[in-house]
Amino acid sequence: MTGVDDPGAPRGLYTLADYATRACAALPRATWDFLEGGAGEERTLAANTDAFDRARLLPRVLSGVGRPDTATRILGRTWAAPLAVAPLAYHTLAHPSGEVATARAAGRAGLPFVVSTFAGRTFEDIAEAADAPLWLQVYCFRDRALTRELVARAERSGFEALVLTVDAPRLGRRLRDLRNGFRLPEGVTPANLTGDGFASPADHARAAFDDTLDWSVVDWLRSISSLPVLVKGVLTAADAHRALAAGADAIVVSNHGGRQLDGVPATLDVLPEVAAAVAGDCPILLDGGVRRGHDVLSALALGADAVLLGRPVLHGLAVGQEDGVGQVLDMVIEELAEAMTFTGTATAGEAGPHLVAAPTDSHRPAPHPTGAARAALPPPAPVRSGSDGFALSKEELHGSVRDPVLDTMTFLNEITHRYPDAISFAPGRPYDGFFEAEHVFEYLRRYLDHLEAGGASPEQIRSALFQYGPTSGQIRELIADSLRKDEGIDVTPESVVVTVGCQEAMLLVVRALVSGPEDALLVSSPCYVGITGAARLLDVEVTPVEEGRGGFDCAVLEAALLAERARGRRPRAFYAIPDHSNPSGATMPLSTRRELLALADRHDMLILEDTPYRMVSPGTQLPTLKALDRRRRVVHLGSYSKTLFPGARVGFVVADQTVVDAQGRTGLLADELTKIKSMVTVNTSPVSQAVVAGMLLAADGRTSRLNTRTAAHYGEAMRVTLQELDRSFPESDRTALGVRWNEPSGGFFLAVDVPFRADDSALIRSAEEFGVIWTPMSYFYPRSGGDFSLRLSVSYLTHQEISDGVERLARFIKAQAG
């Protein structure tokens, strides 16, 4: 490491304060004052650091955490730690290498770097040096063409997001600079701006910043760039709501603009209020006063997903150039890991309010605590409010009730009911035209006759319908027979558990296999929300395995497995829908199925195979993973909702894996699932089982016979949808708009890529103005992704509705893109 005042490695630099001291001594006084800011900034910084000092982390003993995993994932990228370099002007004042050196150091550390509009090096030079994500801090100028060009240059250079600074319509009077008569030194200029008179950012801001901005600027930025937009400067719940409504992809809690106000609240104090308002709808970052790993974990505990580190980076740059910045970042990450270890926090995602102690009286900010202080107070007791009766705070309920994944289907249902005249491509429901009410009684009688023919007495038949019945199910023999005839899956009835739909099967399996935070559940991403929802209810963190445009890739799964093992976690299972998947419609090739089974065996892992769409798809289907399984690596999840009778809510799980207890006794995984089921639903409705059994008996166990007509219908619906898309989007239009879709060979779903963000606000416009409803693909990504894609379900509509719906969809896409 080389510094401005020491050609060797700096010694005795153990804290960020040490770097500040050395940087102050190394830099000219006027430069130091400029970098540190004015009196208002000192007060703001003092408020921020004081708030972090008040946040006391609670130690946890005998947690068995070991080396914690500091990694986090934000806006589709994994960071080495929940930490990024904050935007600061003119790194070249600290050292001529400036932002290039900072970018290299951030890349080495695996952390993003938010580059200031007033960078001293060009975006192109910075991007060439960077190995980690770059974001651009955007000040919106009165000359929108200038802002547009800056954004375009950053996007061409590979920047990945825009951070719109909304809290500083002007930079204010910087008293230190006035007293020092500070002007930028020769050769130090805003490298990405042109023009005269750039003595300082404040000079340019007074002349050029647009101080009439309103929330429409977010939409304007989204119209000129495909990059995500973060809004930096939010300090209240009201502004957090406005940012979300305006379409912000993330929020940065920052009091940068408060430097000119007395009594501005500390960012940590307002963070819980903002986090509660956002309720997980987008990532939250915090900027201001971060000086230790303790501060990072405190911010995570109180609602942030990551923090920004500012001036200490410049101090490191001044003292040791690129290596100095790297040591500063490494120091904070190491301190964060230590804080996580002492608090028993295995992963960054596990941080929560339980880590922070309530403040003592000597530290309590009174009389009206807000933010961190409010969050640390004992929760209010439930209250009665007049005739409304007993009331509960939603914050006191399990976190899953606030999780967006549990809101997705509710939101779609609300949209559908709000716009009843719209054509909906959203529900993945079977077509109603195949069902006749009288069939229920016919199939029920068929099963009762079967029981009687098998020697059951009237009392036994009555009990089979009216009593609870065995927890594992009373039609297991028929299901095992059907699997053998339909799928070539040869298992004993004892390995089958009959469930309340396939959703319960997922819940049982996840609960049985994942015993603690060290166990990892991997899912193909995008994936069905049922599995991620079940995991969320059980507080199980899922690890997404990203699919490419060509579908699932075993190499990506293996890399994810190895990464989990490197984190000290044990991969337990991988969930996938190999055939005509929900949501993408993709089908896994036979060679990939064999490769996946070999990979599972190699890594001692189970595969959770979900197969709802095989029998309702035309043509010969590839063998299931379970049919190919010779090592009992596959837990097969099945449902009769799509193939026989959705209202019956009958599913099943085939779990023939051997389980050995501490005494060496063996049993089946199915037995363990039955124990869990007895505490969840007790049993699956005997009446529902009886109707399904009658349907199986009517077809001699071959559901494929019952679905000859339905498979042809759904295949034709998919063909018509693809045909109408081709008609509505000729090749020239597709190329010009950037619209494309896949062509599934069966199932209910296909994915369409569009040139705009296919989010809830776009969906509302589509339903309201164009009369067509679809599902945002982002719903199906466990962390992030799918922002520019939508899912179409073709199963529930007539051919005429499909034709009309695609025509409406095409008009919407063209209008939204324009």
Q: Which residues are catalytic?
A: 256
Asked whether the beta carbons of 18 and 341 are under 8 A apart, the reply is no
Give 141's DSSP letter: B
Q: Residues with Cβ < 8 Å from 453, sequence gap 6 or more?
A: none
586 in helix, strand or coil?
coil
Beta strands in 248-299 (DSSP E): 250-254, 284-287
- The secondary element (H helix, E strand) that includes residue 544 is strand 542-546
Give 818's DSSP letter: -
For the chain, helix, strand, coil in percent to 5 are 45, 15, 40
Quote the tokens at residue 678.
Answer: 């007895």
- Give the span between the Cα atoms of 557 and 573, in whole angstroms: 11
Count other C-beta atoms under 10 Å from residue 1's C-beta: 18
- The secondary element (H helix, E strand) that includes residue 572 is strand 570-576
The helices-and-strands tally (H runs, E runs) of the chain is 30, 25
Q: C-alpha distances in angstroms, 412 versus 212, 646, 793?
A: 37, 19, 13
Residue 44: closest CA among 284, 380, 311: 311
- Give the span between the Cα atoms of 104 and 111, in whole angstroms: 10
Q: Scanning the structure block, which residue is given the tokens 């199963």?
A: 795
Asked whether the beta carbons of 640 and 692 are under 8 A apart, the reply is yes
Asked whether the beta carbons of 760 and 775 are under 8 A apart, the reply is no
Asked whether the beta carbons of 486 and 615 are under 8 A apart, the reply is yes
**One-character DSSP codes across 618-683:** SSPPPPPHHHH-SSS-EEEEEESTTTT-GGG-EEEEE---EEE-TTS-EEEHHHHHHHHHHTTTSS
Asked whether the beta carbons of 543 and 592 are under 8 A apart, the reply is no
HSE-CB for 634 with a 13 A CA cutoff: 24
**One-character DSSP codes across 413-435:** HHHHHH-TTSEE----PPPGGG-
Quote the tokens at residue 219.
Answer: 């939409």
Residue 750: closest CA among 782, 771, 784, 724: 724
472 in helix, strand or coil?
coil
Asked whether the beta carbons of 704 and 490 are under 8 A apart, the reply is no
Q: What order do you get walking across the sheet with 749-753 strand by strand? A: 740-741, 749-753, 789-793, 775-776
- Give the span between the Cα atoms of 428 and 410, in whole angstroms: 14
- Give the span between the Cα atoms of 705 and 30, in whole angstroms: 85
Quote the tokens at residue 335.
Answer: 């301190």
- Give the span between the Cα atoms of 507 and 803, in whole angstroms: 38
- Give the span between the Cα atoms of 571 and 563, in whole angstroms: 10
